Every structure is written in C-alpha cells, then in structure tokens.
Structure 1
Amino acid sequence: MSADVLESGRLVTVFGGSGFIGRHVVGALARDGWRIRVACRRPDLAFHLQPLGKVGQIFPIQANLRNKASIAAAVKGADAVVNLVGILAEGGKQSFSALHAEGAKAVAEAAEAAGAIHFVQISALGADAHSTSVYARTKAAGEAAVREAFPAAVIFRPSVVFGPEDDFFNRFATMARYFPVIPVVGEGTRFQPVYVGDVARAVALAVDGRAAAGATYELGGPEVKSFRELVQYVLEVTERDRRILPMSFLAGKKVALITKIAGALSFGLFPKLLSMTPDQVELLRHDNVVSAQAKSTGMTLEGLGLAPTAIEAIVPSYLYRYRKTGQYQAQRLA
C-alpha cells in the first residue's frame, strides 16, 4: 500500500505536526507513504521531522490557526487534513478558545472548502460542553464546530498520552530527582494512559479511510490507574524513595493561583516544572478513562484493530535516565 500511495502523490496536511504527538503522527504517515505538509507557526523548528521520511516527503510550511489565509494555503490540494493543535495552559494570544474552538473550526472549514476527503481532529477525553474546566469546554466546542463544518470528520479523544517526550511521566520523574516530596492533587482520579505510537497509528488509519466516518473514538491504554498509582510507578521505575503528598482540590487551587502569579511576576522565568493552573486542577476532578459506551460500540483502539500498548512496555525505556546512575545502573560497583 505504501508504494502505491507514494506513487499516487497523495498529500496530507498536519497542523501541529512538530509537537509531541505530531512527530509520531508524521512518522506513521511517512511509513504509509504519504506526502506530508506540516503546518506550524515556526517551520524553522520542524526540521527534526524530515529524517522520518524520504527526501522531499515531509515539508514544513508556516500556518497560524488565527490566520485563515495561512490555513487555506496549507490545505490547498490536500487529500486529507489532521488537526493536532492543542495547549494545556493559556499564554498570550494562545488561548483555549482561539485554538481549541475557533482554530479547529477554521481548519475544518478550510479542509471542506479545499475538497479534502478525510479530516481527523484530536480532542481529549473529558471534553464536555458543561465542564467547569475551560480546557474541556473549548475541546467540546471544537468538536461541535468540526462536526458542523466537516460531518464525516473522525474525532479522537485520547487519555493522557505517554511516550519518550511526554510531559506526564517525565515531569514527575524530574520532580522525584530534585524534591523529597511529590504533591498530588486528586490522588484518586483515574487515568488510562495511551501510548503515543498507538494514537499515531489510529490517526494514520483514519487518514487512510479505515475508521468510521463521522465517529468519535475514545483512546486509552490497557490499564486504568489512579493518579497516585501512576506517580508511585514513576518512583519505582526511577528507584527514588520519595513521599507522595495528597492535596485537596481546594489546596491545589490555591497553589495553582500562587504559581500563576509567580509566573506572571517573573516574566515567564518561573520553573515550568512547578507550574500548575487552576483549570488543570478542575480537570483533575473527573476520571480520564474510556467510557462503557465507547467500548460497547467499538469506538476504541481495539475497534480499529489495534492492541493498546501497556506503560510497562515503554515507560522504563525512557525513565531509566532519571535513576541515580542512569543507563549504568547495572554496572554500579558494590
């Protein structure tokens, strides 16, 4: 199939392709033989993607979701369009509303106008128009806008995504390296971590027309674990003896407000590792797992014919560097 696709010159535009999930999606599409146009704000920072494909197969271009002309140029002639753009915290003009809702709508409308055959939108588990979290509400608004503009679009809602460059396991492993105590807000909140490679493969299948048109899929791994269990797993893998400090949502809100103020007063110099927003605390009030309805209707990774990858199969391969002697752990002198 890959050779046929490459010979046919089929083109896919990937918005946000230079990010964590994006680089894996681009790699999966390249292996399937697609020509890939990576639309991002800073194309000069996307050169690391080119070795993922053949010469000339992957080419970054400038595009901004707040600029409809640049979006239209990016999707021109594309057979498929993927929108991966998303943020976990607002900053400057990068607001939840501008990117998750208005941006998704603009990309879907441009894809429809350009005659794209397939459209894939990456949303998030927990997207809810009635949520107390602005992140979750704007994700839901983006989904609705995409559905209206491009009814056949495939929407993916992943749980926490893990992989070598993730901002979840790496974050807590770094905290364990430097701090004796790891604060956890909502220690009982449940997650179903999904491997970034599985998410990328799901996107590649949807772009190739092998997902149900107009469907919403919920993507989760094979295991459901509480927030505390995941942090404890990080400590076990990194072999760090640290205390986990449970925090109430009220305390978490107060800490988040303090770090937000500290970040503003320090002109962005406050350590990202210690940063948390009130909206992220709101997200932690609800479980982040695949619903029973999605399982019963086959709107999951398994429904796409994919076997979810366990965290134990991947996470130790990149968290080993947080051990006291890193990759030389087995060679320590007695």
Structure 2
Amino acid sequence: MPDKPIAVFGGTGFLGDAIVRELVETGRAVRIAARHPALPAWAEEGDLIELATADLRDEASVNAALAGASAAINAVSLYVETRELSFEAIHVAGAGRLARLARAADIARLVQVSGIGVSPDSPSAYVRARARGETAVLDAMPKAIIVRPSVLFGPHDAFLSGLEGLTRLPVIPLFGRGMTRLQPVHVHDVARAIAQLTGRHASPRCLFELGGPEVMSYREILETLLAHLERSRPLVPLPFLAWRLIAALAHRLPGAPLTLDQVILMQADNVADEDVGGFRDLKILPHSLRESLPNCLPRASIRD
C-alpha cells in the first residue's frame, strides 16, 4: 500500500519547491497544492508527486487537497497585496482555514511557515498578518508546528538576485546606515528542517526559528557580495524617512518595486531567538551565506 502523501500548500513557490524536492528525495509521496499546480522542472519519472488545485480562500479546494494526506505544510507566501489577494485573506483567514480543515481530517502534523519577528503590534501590515495567522492556526490546531525562517537565500532567489542587481549601480544606497542585523538562511536547510518535522517522530517543540550560522549587518552582506562579484561600489547611507517616501511613490508603479512593509522590515533586526527550537534541535548544520555564494551566484553566469 503506497504511503499517504504530504500536502504542500504553496508547493510551487521558492520555499515550497525546495520542500517538495527534499521530501521526494527522501522517498516520500508529495501532493503539490497550489492555485496553479505544476510538476517541478527537476521532477523525474517515478517521483511520487500528485497535483491538486487549491486556493486557501476556497474551503472545498483545501478540503480536497487534504483528503488522504498524512501531513500538511502551509508554505503559501504573499509579500505584496493586490486587489484580488490580501494579507488578511491568505495569511490569517486562509491559514486558519487550512488548520481547521486539517484537524477535521484527522491530520496529526501541520507545519505553518511564518517568519522571525512576527508581532501583532508591528507597524508592518504584513508582519501583523503573519502574527494573527499564527494565532488562527494554533486556535484551530493547538499542536501545529510554527516555523519562522529568517531571510531566505538560495539559487535563483529574490534576496541575493535583488542585491546583485543593486551592485550594478554606480552607488549603492543603504537602508539607514546599513546596520540592521540579518541571519540569512539557505532555503534547502529550511526545507530539510520542515521535512524532518513532518516525519514519524513528533518533535517535543512546536516553535522553531531558523537562521543561518552567521548574523550579518545589511552592510556586511553587501560588502561580502561585492567581494564575491569582484566589484567595487561606494555604500551610501540613506535615512529611513527617505526610503518611506520612495516606497510611497513606488507604490503607484506597476509591480510595486518597493513597498512600505519592506522598508519597515529593514528597520528591525531579523535574528533567531536561541530560546526556542532551532537547527540544533534537529541536528542540522546550516550552510553559511559566505560559503554558499559560489553556488547561488556563480560569477561565470553573471554578466557585468
């Protein structure tokens, strides 16, 4: 009898794809649940992958995607609101709906992906929604596991790719003085942790904050990237008030290249709390940003 699949909601996204791959490579059956599900480019014949069309706003589709699953992972992400998609609908109501339906389906293991620094009092609408989403999930399923990664990086990511684009400018503007501390974490390490948390052996912890082995300021990350790319650019401090004004203007542009929420996020450190679960509890040694740069941004593939 084949194993029951693990339903990965948001399985086509950056983190979701990495989670699906980690599960498949360890021989487990996976169901990719997304609004537009598709087989990953890396999938091979014989991989135990199912596709399910699911929208966290639609109860019937979520129920169908959960049917017969052994565990569920919510890796659905929304960083910028649109007319059709709001933080409230996806990160709060949608997350709570998934948890409620998972419990009704007798699914014992649910992993909810959130983020470090969530707070219901944050000036960021995104962060407030993430915090309310955690509460909604735990209200519906008290034994759900919350995973809060720091800034994700990896091949073909948005973080390093975006910074690489900045290094092409003659001058690189910093957020403030660039002293905000981040703990960049490799997407594959987070995927490995989440896959482990859906395993047969229950974790004694229900809250994990996952950060890489290095805590670096935003300035240090840019300097490290410039050294790797063998580029020299001046780093110029820019007050956060100026960034807020830029974000307000950018909000009117198609695709919103910069949002107020992103500026607010860069005003607070994003570092894992050592008093909650982490990679050490899962016996995972995470990759550092410095050692991963050649694989994430190979110089041969970047045209100056």
TM-score (norm 2): 0.94
Shift of 1:303: 1.1
**Aligned to 1:82, what secondary structure does the other structure show?**
strand
Q: Looking at secondary structure, tell me which structure has more helix per residue.
A: 1
CA distance in 2, matches of 1:106, 1:60: 20
In the other structure, the counterpart of 2:243 is 252
CA distance in 2, matches of 1:28, 1:246: 40
In the other structure, the counterpart of 2:275 is 293
Conserved in 1, the CA contact under 8 Å of 2:8 and 2:30?
yes
In the other structure, the counterpart of 2:190 is 199
In the other structure, the counterpart of 1:332 is none
Listed as ranges, the matches of 1:83-162 within 5 Å are: 83-162=74-153
Shift of 1:197: 0.9
Q: Which consecutive residues of structure 2, in runs of 5 or more, have no partner in the other structure?
A: none
Conserved in 1, the CA contact under 8 Å of 2:24 and 2:47?
no
In the other structure, the counterpart of 1:18 is 12
Listed as ranges, the matches of 1:199-238 within 5 Å are: 199-210=190-201, 212=203, 215-238=206-229
In the other structure, the counterpart of 1:305 is 283
Q: 1:33 aligns with which of 23, 27, 31?
A: 27
Do the aligned partners of residues 83 and 213 (structure 1) sit closer, same or farther apart at CA in structure 2, a change above 3 Å counting? Answer: farther
Shift of 1:320: 2.5
CA distance in 1, matches of 2:85, 2:146: 22
Do the aligned partners of residues 16 and 175 (structure 1) sit closer, same or farther apart at CA in structure 2, a change above 3 Å counting? Answer: same
Conserved in 1, the CA contact under 8 Å of 2:10 and 2:34?
yes
Conserved in 1, the CA contact under 8 Å of 2:116 and 2:150?
yes
CA distance in 1, matches of 2:46, 2:173: 47
**Aligned to 1:315, what secondary structure does the other structure show?**
helix
**Aligned to 1:293, what secondary structure does the other structure show?**
coil
Q: 1:182 aligns with which of 160, 169, 172?
A: 172
CA distance in 2, matches of 1:302, 1:54: 35
Shift of 1:283: 1.3
**Aligned to 1:93, what secondary structure does the other structure show?**
coil
- Of residues 280-289 and 210-219 in structure 1, the stretch that sits farther from structure 2 once superposed is 210-219
Does 2:262 correspond to 1:280? Answer: yes
Shift of 1:318: 2.7
Shift of 1:92: 2.3
- Of residues 91-100 and 221-230 in structure 1, the stretch that sits farther from structure 2 once superposed is 91-100
In the other structure, the counterpart of 1:4 is none
TM-score (norm 1): 0.86
Do the aligned partners of residues 95 and 324 (structure 1) sit closer, same or farther apart at CA in structure 2, a change above 3 Å counting? Answer: closer
RMSD over aligned Cα atoms: 1.8
Do the aligned partners of residues 210 and 285 (structure 1) sit closer, same or farther apart at CA in structure 2, a change above 3 Å counting? Answer: farther
CA distance in 2, matches of 1:53, 1:304: 29
In the other structure, the counterpart of 1:48 is 40
Deviations 1:146-193 (A, max 9, x none): 11111111110000011002111111102223x212222141110001
CA distance in 2, matches of 1:39, 1:218: 25
Conserved in 2, the CA contact under 8 Å of 1:124 and 1:158?
yes
CA distance in 2, matches of 1:323, 1:122: 31
Letter in structure 2 aligned against 1:48:
P
**Aligned to 1:48, what secondary structure does the other structure show?**
coil
CA distance in 1, matches of 2:179, 2:200: 38
CA distance in 1, matches of 2:68, 2:17: 22
Aligned residues: 303
Conserved in 1, the CA contact under 8 Å of 2:4 and 2:68?
no
Deviations 1:271-311 (A, max 9, x none): x6xx11111111112100012422xxxx1111111112111
Conserved in 2, the CA contact under 8 Å of 1:39 and 1:63?
yes
Deviations 1:211-230 (A, max 9, x none): 52561100001110001111
**Aligned to 1:81, what secondary structure does the other structure show?**
strand
**Aligned to 1:121, what secondary structure does the other structure show?**
strand
Q: Percent identity?
A: 39
CA distance in 2, matches of 1:120, 1:53: 26
Letter in structure 2 aligned against 1:148:
D
Shift of 1:134: 1.0
